[in-house]
Each structure stands twice: as C-alpha cells, then as structure tokens.
C-alpha cells in the first residue's frame, strides 16, 4: 500500500471544517476521504503552530529554512498567504457569529 496524498485544498477544507466545530472528526474524515484520524490532528497541529507552508509540501519533503522549494515565486508565496488569510478571516467571522448566537441564549 502506498501513502495517501491529499491536495492542499483538501487539507485547508479539513482545517476549516474542524475549526467551525459543526462536524465531528469522523464526519470530516468521511466527507473528505481521509483514512486516519492522526492525519487530521497533524494538519490541525500545523495550523495552530502557524506552519502553513507544510500544507503545500509533497510527501517526504519537509522544508524548513525557506518554508518551501526555492522554485516558488514571490507571487505564489503571496497567493498562498492571501488564501490563508482569507480562510482565517472566514473562520473568525463564523466564530463571531456563533459567539453572538450563544450570548443571545
């Protein structure tokens, strides 16, 4: 059996679903076709540690010094960062909405 390879889009979708709190880990795994719970936990650990560059790395390539291959252009890096910030903004908006609903109760 080979290793499972997940795209960065799947990884971000899993993180987003997990942070929203609407689905359990098992439901998220089923929704995105993730085989192992530890994979979700690893992606969440990367997100919390702000190691978002790891989402774009291929299996076995753990870049740390430059946070990725030197072939990535500045535009690519900015695009990834912008995408991350947009997702983070969505998550914070959702959190604030949930918080407002809880205060009403």
Rounded CA gap, 88 and 52, in Å?
12
For the segment 86-103, the average pLDDT, to the nearest whole number, is 85
- Per-residue pLDDT at 41: 92
Rounded CA gap, 65 and 103, in Å?
44
More confident residue, 105 or 49: 49
For the segment 80-88, the average pLDDT, to the nearest whole number, is 81
- Per-residue pLDDT at 27: 93
Rounded CA gap, 10 and 46, in Å?
14
Instruction: Tell me 60's DSSP state.
Output: T
Indicate yes or no: pTM above 0.75.
no
Average pLDDT value for the chain: 81
Is the pLDDT confidence value at 21 over 90?
Answer: no
> Residues with Cβ < 8 Å from 67, sequence gap 6 or more?
53
Rounded CA gap, 83 and 12, in Å?
10
Q: pLDDT digits over 33-68, tens only?
A: 999 899 999 999 988 888 877 887 766 665 555 555
SS3 state at 24: coil
SS3 state at 33: coil
- Per-residue pLDDT at 61: 60
For the segment 66-78, the average pLDDT, to the nearest whole number, is 64
Rounded CA gap, 102 and 24, in Å?
20
């Amino acid at each position: 059996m080979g290793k499972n390879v997940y795209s960065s889009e799947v990884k971000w979708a899993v993180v987003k679903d997990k942070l929203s709190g609407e689905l359990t880990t098992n439901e998220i795994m089923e929704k995105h076709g993730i085989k192992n719970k530890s994979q979700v936990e690893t992606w969440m650990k990367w997100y919390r540690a702000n190691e978002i560059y790891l989402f774009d790395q291929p299996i076995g390539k753990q870049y740390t010094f430059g946070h990725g291959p030197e072939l990535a252009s500045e535009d690519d890096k900015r695009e990834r960062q912008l995408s991350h910030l947009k997702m983070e903004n969505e998550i914070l908006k959702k959190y604030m909405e949930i918080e407002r609903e809880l205060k009403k109760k």
